Amino acid sequence: MSDRVARHVIVHGRVQGVFFRDTTRRQAERRGVSGWVCNRWDGAVEAHFEGDPDAVDALVAFCREGPRGAHVDRVDVEDVEPEGADGFAIR
């Protein structure tokens, strides 16, 4: 089994009010990725993903497209230390 990895992601664009958080949660649960997602005051969506490297990379790739109705301008991704998250939450 691969080592657990974590990524901190900030998605910029028209990403609030388009079910970005809920779709991200469903994608994460489907892939077995733990962490959280939340709306930011500046209109971006922020998330923390951790789990299998391939699953986390797939979730980051999803964020680059977003759900139908989203328009993603930019995605900032940072490798971070896993927090030991259990499950996935919308904050």
**Which position among 7, 30, 31, 39 bears the catalytic label?**
39
Token pair 């986390």: residue: 56
Kindly report, residue by residue over 59-86, the tens digit of the pLDDT: 999 999 999 999 999 999 999 999 898 9
39 is known as an active-site residue: yes
Q: Could you give all domains of the chain from N- to C-terminal order, each with its CATH number?
A: 5-90 (3.30.70.100)
Catalytic, out of 7, 14, 21, 91: 21
pLDDT at 1 over 60: no
Q: Does the active-site annotation cover 91?
A: no
Beta-carbon contacts of residue 28 (< 8 Å; ≥ 6 apart)? 34, 35, 37, 49, 59, 88
pTM: 0.93
Whether pLDDT at 15 is above 80: yes
User: What does pLDDT average to over the chain?
Assistant: 95
Asked whether residue 39 carries a pLDDT value surpassing 70, the answer given is yes
